[in-house]
Amino acid sequence: MDRLAGQIGGNPSPGKLHPMVEPFDQRQIDVGDGHVLHVEQSGNPRGVPVIVLHGGPGGGCSPYMRRFFDPRHYRAILFDQRGCGRSRPHAEVRANTTQHLVADIERIRTELGIERAILFGGSWGATLALTYAEAHPDSVLALVLRGVFLGRRAELDWFYGGGVARFFPDRWAEFQKPIPEAERDDMIIAYHRRLFSGDRGQEIRYSLPWLQWENALAGLEISGAGHAPPDYARAFARLENHYFAHGCFLEEGQLLRDRHRIEHLPAFIVQGRYDMVCPPQTAWELAQDWPLADLRLVPASGHALSEPRIATELVRVMDGLRDAAQEGGRVA
């Protein structure tokens, strides 16, 4: 979950984020299966590596994401996951699973000569960060997570099965409206039929209400009335729906079951107190009995990366890791 950062939510307060920087490196990496990933690096080429994992699936990266990292200290690696952003082919779901994305992160890490990196991800990006870390714990320095989503059935049911609709009945009605009543018992599958119909025009028409439903709930001050370019909406909706229709290609409860593999790593979890997309209960469960987990419940905040208090807290975490390293601390 999580649409393109910087196009939803309010603008962070001036001075909270680091100045915008341009990438010192941009490249295309052929990862096989017909997929070519767009990868960029910014900041200090000799700095502490941070691999940034965007949300969605299908959200793509934004230049805004570079601003969470002090460019004098960090080497920020951003990439568009398979099928979205500037990666190609666009909106492609073939050979596009969680396992493929984990392999892509490992390919990027090795190609860029990175031994260990901080993983920075929110929403679906948090899911992917945890999945990668549990598969490759020796390649991770720390996790910085936001708006935690663990890909479980109950979490999908909350968002697409009518749970959160009790708070947003008007928005839910708009989301259901394009779907015949006989198919509304499973909105993910109902939209799947239309997003993968093979009729590009129909796919675009159904991608917009899919996207607007999520945008409507992403932050406390969001109207949900915004628009997105048709190609972006189609890629986002197709990829997200593809992953959710397949249970995120994870075993039920897998990320909590295998958490023991990463409990030696520090984890900083920034969670909006009023996150309606990924409710705080999930972040709470993840942090329980994890000795090195630091859960920060942010008041008066929802889900979006660009919400002022969320953005400020994430910068505070990254600056804190920087300061600890400069003072001889063991992380980053």
The model's pLDDT over 169-220, given as tens digits with 9 standing for 90+, comes to 999 999 999 999 999 999 999 999 999 999 999 999 999 999 999 999 998 8
CB neighbour list of residue 182: distance below 8 Å, 6 or more residues apart: none
Check residue 272 and give left, alpha or beta (phi > 0: left; psi -120 to 50: alpha).
beta
Reported pTM: 0.95
Q: Which of 38, 207, 275, 306 is catalytic?
A: 275
**Longest C-alpha distance within the chain, in Å?**
62
Q: Which of 123, 139, 207, 301 is catalytic?
A: 123
Residue ranges of the chain that CATH labels 3.40.50.1820: 25-152+249-326
Mark whether 260 is an active-site residue. Answer: no
Cα gap 317→120, rounded to integer Å: 11
Mark whether 275 is an active-site residue. Answer: yes
Q: Count the Cβ atoms, other than its own, within 10 Å of residue 89.
A: 14
Q: Tens digits of per-residue pLDDT, 118-135? A: 999 999 999 999 999 999
Homologous superfamily of the 25-152+249-326 domain (CATH): Alpha/Beta hydrolase fold, catalytic domain (3.40.50.1820)
Residues of the chain with pLDDT under 50: 4-15, 225
At 290 the three-state DSSP class reads coil
Mark whether 192 is an active-site residue. Answer: no
Q: Which of 18, 192, 242, 303 is catalytic?
A: 303
